[in-house]
Amino acid sequence: MSATTLRELHHDRKPGDPLVLPGPWDAASARVFADAGFPALATPSAGVAASLGYEDGQTPADEMFAAITRIVRAVDVPVSADVEAGYGLSARELVGRLADAGAVGCNLEDTDHATGTLRDPQEQADWLAQVRAEAGDALVINARIDTYLRGVPDADETIRRGRLYAEAGADCVYPFAAPPAQLARLATAIGLPVNAVVMPDGPAPRELGALGAARVTFGPGLQWRAMAAVREMAEELRAETTGRARTDRT
């Protein structure tokens, strides 16, 4: 599937009807989401990391790209890949590895993982421009803005970064954990589709769409729900085979 197909899915969304992209963490979950009729998927780095036995942010690049390759191979819908901050690869290397994996979109975040702080916005914009130059139109770039995550909950700073990233060639911006009430302002001021994440006890996808999100993702939330179901099944099985009561998880 092409980047053009994925890019077009972001536009002309009606309020309350955002592009909903489930986050598969392996090939099996990807097939389930694709078979359910979702038009595209977006891998979460944290969910993939957990499936491989790593903490979020600790997955070696080779293992992440191998996992993305398996997910892409399992489905016939476009896949966008969360590649965190790019794993220290050059723009050419990153674009090449995404192409080899078959991903037609990617998340790139503006956190410096060496320091746990925000990157300089102009440096991040320059990096995004390099990625765009290498990829041409063959990659949908979702520029994640980590202001709210990194202790800078400032809409004006988020807008400043978003505009720089838009000028650099981003297709979409992802102000991670932005207050839902600010989504419409961010979308209008930045001028690109805005990605919102479904948070526990937060607004549902349609509600986020009504508030201004054109694209909705889940981070590792769907993987967490799946693992909760597996845990419950395991406890029931253990109780059946040992005669012991299930663990009280209240």
Domain ranges within the chain, ordered by starting residue: 3-219, 221-250
With a pLDDT cut of 90, the percent of the chain lying above it is: 95
In this prediction, residue 235 carries a pLDDT of: 95
Beta bridge partner(s), residue 217:
197
In this prediction, residue 247 carries a pLDDT of: 58
In this prediction, residue 245 carries a pLDDT of: 63
Residue spans of the chain under pLDDT 70: 1, 245-250
In this prediction, residue 250 carries a pLDDT of: 47
Give how far Cα 170 sits from Cα of 57, 133, 147, 242, Å.
22, 11, 17, 55
Taken as a whole, the chain contains a residue count of 250
97 contacts 86 by C-beta, under 8 angstroms:
no
In this prediction, residue 82 carries a pLDDT of: 99
In this prediction, residue 243 carries a pLDDT of: 75
**Which residues, including other chains, have CB under 8 Å from residue 230's CB and lie 6 or more apart?**
none
Beta bridge partner(s), residue 143:
108, 173
In this prediction, residue 65 carries a pLDDT of: 99
**Interatomic CA distance for residues 174 and 168, integer angstroms:** 15
**Interatomic CA distance for residues 175 and 183, integer angstroms:** 9
CATH of 3-219, one of 3.30.420.40, 3.20.20.60, 2.40.110.10, 3.30.390.50: 3.20.20.60
